[in-house]
């Protein structure tokens, strides 16, 4: 963009957008799905399963980690990743709060 205007929005809005951005790629959805299905640490199997190069997968993992959605530790030549359920719940809760708040009175005749 010419100038990023993101600072012009509230902290909460930026946080939610960051969370969504972390989910905004099928590779990252797929990674999370893998981690969720195992509900445990996965050590290295991710690259084998995805149709992406090792460096690309590593980058996606980094983004998920930066967003706080996964935890990971490196034990020398192998790594260990798992979902940070707490963070996940937090954000899902915030979204639900935002957009379900008034949904009770739903079904307006509209547009």
Partner DNA sequence: TTTATTAATCGTATATTTGCGATATAAAAT
Partner DNA sequence: ATTTTATATCGCAAATATACGATTAATAAA
Report the 10 Å Cβ neighbour count for 67.
Answer: 19
Pairing of strands 70-75, 78-83: antiparallel
Cβ contacts of residue 94 below 8 Å, gap of 6+?
12, 15, 16
Residue closer to DNA by CB (options 44, 93) is 44
Count CA within 13 A, CB hemisphere, residue 19.
17
Chain positions contacting its own copies, by CB under 8 A: 5-6, 8-10, 13-14, 16-17, 20-30, 32-33, 36-37, 39-41, 51-52, 71-73, 80-83, 85, 88, 92, 95-96, 98-99, 101-103, 105-108, 110-111
Q: Shortest Cβ distance from residue 58 to its own copies (Å)?
A: 15
Q: What CA–CA distance (Å, rounded) separates 60 from 45?
A: 14
Residue closer to DNA by CB (options 33, 89) is 33
The site for DNA (CB under 7 A) is made up of 1-6, 21, 24-25, 27, 43-44, 47, 52-56, 58-63, 72, 74-79
């Amino acid at each position: 963009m010419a100038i990023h205007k993101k600072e012009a929005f509230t902290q909460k809005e930026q946080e939610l957008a960051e969370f969504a951005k972390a989910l905004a790629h099928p590779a990252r959805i797929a990674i999370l799905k893998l981690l969720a299905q195992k509900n445990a640490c996965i050590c290295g199997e991710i690259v084998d399963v995805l149709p992406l190069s090792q460096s690309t997968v590593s980058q996606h993992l980094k983004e998920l980690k930066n967003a706080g959605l996964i935890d990971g530790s490196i034990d020398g030549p192998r790594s260990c990743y798992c979902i940070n359920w707490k963070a996940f719940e937090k954000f899902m809760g915030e979204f639900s709060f935002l957009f379900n708040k008034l949904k009770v009175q739903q079904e307006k005749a509209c547009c």
